[in-house]
Structure 1
Amino acid sequence: MFLFRLLLKNAFRHRLRTILTMVGLVVAICAFGLLRTIIDAWYAGVEGTSSVRLVTRNSISLTFPLPLNYAERLRNVEGVTGVSWSNWFGGVYITERNFFPQFAVEPASYLALYPEYILSDEEKKAFILDRQGCIVGRKLAEQYGWKIGDQIPLRGTIYPGTWTFTLRGIWDGADAKTDESQMLFHWQYLTETTKKRLKRSTDFVGVYIVRINEPDNAPLISERIDQQFKNSLAETLTETEKAFQLGFVSMSEAILVAVNAVSYVIIIIIMAVMANTMSMTARERLAEYATLKALGFSPSFVVKLLFGESLVIALIGGGAGMLLTLPIAAGFAKAVGTLFPVFVVSETTMALQVLACLVVGVVAAAWPAWKMSRIDIVNGLMHVA
C-alpha cells in the first residue's frame, strides 16, 4: 500500500504533463477499442452463422435465380433435414438513406431454420396467416419506432411499385450476435403480385437455405447437392452459411486490413508519447535516484519505481479510455443504424485494451529504467548541484 501511494504521488508530481499524457491515453485506447469493434461488427454476420445451415445459390452469381422446383429435390438429398428459400427485395423506406435488409421468405420453413429469432407463438401465427404481413428485428423496430399492426410502405427497386406490409411480429435475438436489423415477409405475396404486374413466371428464388443433420457432413452434403444439379440450366454452388457470409466480407478485406493497421499504429504513437514522458521524468529525478542508491537501495528498487509509475499512468488513462469506449460505441451504433447490425464492444476487445495499456506502460519505462539502474552515484549527486 505504501509503495502504491508513493507511485501515485510520483505520477502526479508534474500534474499538467501527467494529465496531458493520460488524455492522450484515453483517446488512444478509446480509438483502439472503437476500431476493433468496427472490425468485429464487420464479421458479425460470420460469427452469427450456424454450422448446420448451408446456402445453395446459382453457381454463376447471386444475381441469377434458381427454380422453385429445386426445393423438393433438395429435401430428398441424404443428410438434409430442412429446406427453405429467400429473395432479396431491396426496397426503399421513405428515403434511400433508410437502408435495411428485406427478404421474401417462406414463413413456416424459414423460421424453423432460424431458432435464434425469438418470436412469440401469437406473433408467429399472425405472420404466417397474413399474406401481406411481415416481421422485423427488435433493433430495426426501435430505430423507426414501429409497433405491432403498423403499416410499412416500401418502394420497390428490383420489384417496381409500392409495397405495403403489416407488422405482425418483432423478434429478439437469442444472443448479442443475432442480427435484429432485418425485415422478413411472404415470398408467396411477392411472387403472386409480381406475376400480376409483370405478366411473367416468377417461380424462382434467390437462394435456398438448407439444414443438415451433422456439421461434419457439410462438405459431403454440399457436394451431393451440387452434383444433383450438375449440367442443368441452373447449376448450383452450395457452401456453409459461414463461407457464404465470408464471401461478402472478403470484398472489403483491404479496408479491414487498413482499419486493423490503424488501430495498432495508434497504440505505437501513444507508446512513443508515454516513453517521452517517462524519459523526462527520469532525467528530472536523476539526483533522487542517485541518493536512493547512496542510501543502500538496490538498482532494482529504482527500476520498480519507474515501471510502477509508468504502469499507474497507463492503467489510469487506459481504464478511463475503456470506460469511455462503451458510451461512444453505443452512440456510434445508433448513428450508423443498420449499417452494422451487431455493434457491441466484445470481451476480447476489452482484453486487448487492457493488454495495450500494460504494453504501453512496460515499454515506455524500459529505457529510462535501464538507464537509471546504471547511473553512477557521484555523477548523479553532482547533477543536483
Structure 2
Amino acid sequence: MFVLKLIIRNTFRHPLRSLLTVAGVAIAVIAFGLLRTLVELWYLGAESSSATRLVTRSSISLVFSLPISYRDKIRQVSGVTKVANANWFGGIYKSEKNFFPNFAVSGNYLDLYPEFMLSDDERKAFLMDRKGVVAGRKLALKQGWKIGDQITLKGTIFPGQWDFVLRGIYRGSERTTDESQFFFHWDYLNETLKKTMPRRADQTGIFLVGVKRPEQAAEVAQAVDDQFRNSLAETLTETEKAFQLSFVAMTEAIVIAIQIVSYVVIVIIMVVAANTMAMTARERISEYATLKTLGFGTVHIAGVIFGESFAISLAGGMLGIAATFPAAHWIETELSQFFPVFQVTQETVLLDLAAAATVGIIAGIFPTWRGATIKVADGLRRIG
C-alpha cells in the first residue's frame, strides 16, 4: 500500500511534466487508433461480402463493358438463383467536391442485398417510377433529401443532365453497412443511351450473380466463364470478396504505408516517454539511495519507478481511447464521402491499450534498472 501511495505521489510530483507526457501518449494512441481503423476499413468491403454473391465482369478490365444479353445466359447456369446488372455512373451532384457513389442497377439488384433495408412501399414506388432512385440514409441526411425530392446529377462517363426522383431511403441492417450509396434504374440509362449514344446502349459494367449455396460458388463461376470463353467479350467471375480484394490490391502500398506510420507514431512517443522517465530517475537517485538505507529492497524501488512509468502511459492510453471515439464520429460525419463508415472496433481498442502498456513498459525498463541497482554510497553523494 505504501508503494502504491508513493507511485501516485511521484506521478503528480511534477504536474506539468506528467500532464505533457500523458497528453503525448494520448495523442499517439488517438493517431494509432485512427490509422488502424483506416486500415480495417480498407478491408471492410471484403469482410462484409456475401459468400452467395458472385461478380461477373470483363476478363480484361472493369473499364470494358459486357453485352446485356449475357444476363439471360447466366441465369440458365445451374445453381444460379438471381442475376442483376449494374453500371458505375459517376455522376456529380452540384459540385465535384460533393461526391458519392452512384450506380445504374437493374430492378432486382436490391433483392441480392438484404442488408439494404427498404420498406415495401418505398421499394414499390422505386420500381414503378423509371426515374426513381434509392439513396442511403446517411447520404440523404447529409444532402437534406426527403422522399419525393427532385435530384439532378451531371453525367461524366455518360454526359448530360440526369433528373431523378427520390423514392426510397434504405437503412443498413448492420452498423458497418454502407449507407451512402445512390441507385437508379439501369433501364432509364439504357433508354437514354439508345437515343443519344446508340453504340453504348445494351451494355453493362458487371453482373451480380446469386447462388444457392456458398460451396457452389467456384463451380458456378467456372460454368459462367466457360459459356463466354473465346467470345468477343470473355468474362471473369469471382466471389464478391475476391472482387473487393482486387481493389484493395491496387492500393496495397498505401495500406502498408499507413500500417508503418501507425507503428512509427508509437515508437516516437515511446522514445519521448523513456527520456522523460530517465530524467525523473536521474533527479531522484539520492532519494532511492535514502530509501535503501531505510530498509527498502530493490523490488520496492523498482516497483515505484516502473509503476510511475506504467501509470503515466496507461493514463495517456485511456485518455486517448476515450478521445478516439468522438474523433472517429467527426470523421464519419464530416468526411462521409470518403469514409461512409468509420467505426472503432473492439480489436482496435485492445490494440490501443496494448500500445499504451508497451510504451509504459519499455520506457520504464532503463530507469527502473538504474534506480534499483544504484549503490547507496553513490546515491548519497548526490545529496546537496
Question: TM class by shorter-chain length?
Answer: over 0.9
- Tell me the amino acid that sits aligned with residue 284 of structure 1: E
Alignment of 1:183-194 (within 5 A): 183-194=182-193
TM-score (norm 1): 0.96
Describe the superposition over 1:340-359 as per-residue Cα deviations: whole angstroms up to 9, x where unpaired: 22211222211111110000
CA distance in 2, matches of 1:24, 1:131: 56
- Which stretch of the first structure deviates more once superposed, 68-77 or 50-59? 68-77
**Match for 2:72: what amino acid?**
E
Corresponding residue of 1:131: 130
Please tell me whether the aligned partners of residues 152 and 165 of structure 1 are also in contact (alpha carbons under 8 angstroms).
yes
1:97-136 per-position Cα deviation (integer Å, ceiling 9, x unaligned): 11111111112x2111100001111111111111110001
Which residue number in structure 2 is paired with residue 81 of structure 1? 81
**TM-score of the two chains, using structure 2 as the length reference:** 0.96
Tell me which residue corresponds to 2:10.
10
Distance 1:111 1:72 in 2: 18
Equivalent residues in 2 for 1:49-64, closer than 5 Å: 49-64=49-64
CA contact (8 A) 1:56 1:208 kept: yes
Q: d(CA) in 1 for partners of 2:33 and 2:161? A: 42
Say if 1:90 and 1:273 are closer, same or farther in 2 by CA, change over 3 A: same
Q: Partner residue of 1:247?
A: 246
Letter of the 2:81 partner, please give it: T
Deviation at 1:3, TM superposition (A): 4.3
**Corresponding residue for residue 279 of structure 1:** 278
- 1-structure distance, mates of 2:346, 2:367: 33
Map of 1:290 onto structure 2: 289
CA contact (8 A) 2:331 2:339 kept: no
Residues 9-55 of structure 1: CA deviation (Å, up to 9, x unaligned)? 11010112111111211211111112122222222222221121110
Preserved CA contact (<8 Å) 1:44 1:342: no
Give the whole-Å Cα distance in 2 for the aligned partners of 1:318 and 1:205. 50
Q: Hey, what does 2:304 align to over in structure 1?
A: 305
CA pair 8-155 structure 1, distance change in 2 beyond 3 A = same
Q: Is the contact made by 1:42 and 1:340 (CA closer than 8 Å) also made in structure 2?
A: no
What CA distance in whole angstroms lies between the structure 2 residues aligned with 1:146 and 1:3?
Answer: 61
The whole-number CA distance in structure 1 between the counterparts of 2:2 and 2:291 is: 17
Instruction: Tell me how far 1:223 sits from its aligned partner.
Output: 1.5
- 1:346 aligned residue: 345
1:383 alignment partner, SS class: coil
Q: Is the 8 A contact 2:4 2:304 kept in 1?
A: no
Counterpart residue type for residue 209 of structure 1: L
1:163 maps to which residue?
162
Secondary structure class of the residue paired with 2:337: helix
Q: Cα deviation per residue 1:153-203 (whole Å; 9 max; x = unaligned)? A: 011112121111100111111112211111001111111121122344611
* 8 Å contact from structure 1 (residues 106, 188) kept in 2: yes
Task: Tell me the equivalent position of 1:381.
Answer: 380
> Which whole-Å CA distance do the structure 1 matches of 2:367 and 2:287 have between them?
14
Aligned residues: 384
- Asked if the contact 1:79/1:213 (under 8 Å) is kept, the reply is yes
Q: Is the 8 A contact 1:86 1:205 kept in 2?
A: yes
Cross-structure match for 2:203: 204
Query: Are residues 1:122 and 2:128 paired?
Result: no
Decide whether aligned partners of structure 1 residues 117 and 93 sit closer, same or farther in structure 2, where only a CA change above 3 A counts.
same
Q: Is the alpha carbon distance of 1:199 and 1:272 closer, same or farther for their aligned partners in structure 2, counting shifts above 3 Å?
A: closer
Match of 1:69 in 2: 69
- Measure, in 2, the Cα distance between the counterparts of 1:201 and 1:326: 46
Is the 2:3–2:303 Cα contact (8 Å) retained in structure 1?
no
Cα distance in 2 for partners of 1:55, 1:350 equals: 34
User: Tell me, which stretches of 5 or more residues in structure 1 are unaligned?
Assistant: none
Q: Distance in 1 between matches of 2:331 and 2:340?
A: 12
Identity %: 53
Q: Which runs of 5+ in 2 are unaligned?
A: none
Q: What does residue 336 of structure 1 align with?
A: 335
| 1:82 to partner: Cα distance | 1.8
Q: Residues 88 and 104 of structure 1 are in contact (CA less than 8 Å); yes or no, is this contact kept in structure 2?
A: yes
* Mapped contact 1:39–1:256 kept (Cα < 8 A): yes
- Is the 1:47–1:177 Cα contact (8 Å) retained in structure 2? no
State the Cα distance separating 1:152 from its structure 2 match: 0.7
CA RMSD of aligned residues (A): 1.5
The answer (yes or no) to whether the contact 1:29–1:321 under 8 Å persists in 2 is yes
User: Counterparts of 1:189 and 1:267 in 2: how far apart (Å)?
Assistant: 52
How far did 1:333 drift?
2.5
Structure 1, 351-360 or 194-203: larger mean CA deviation: 194-203
- The alpha carbon displacement at 1:318 in A equals 1.7
Contact 2:80–2:209 under 8 Å retained in 1: yes
Is 179-188 or 29-38 further displaced after alignment? Answer: 29-38
Structure 1 Cα separation of the partners of residues 238 and 353 of structure 2: 38
Structure-2 change in CA distance of 1:202 and 1:266 (3 Å): same
Q: Secondary structure, in 3 states, of the residue corresponding to 1:279?
A: helix
2:221 paired residue number: 222
Distance 1:326 1:98 in 2: 25
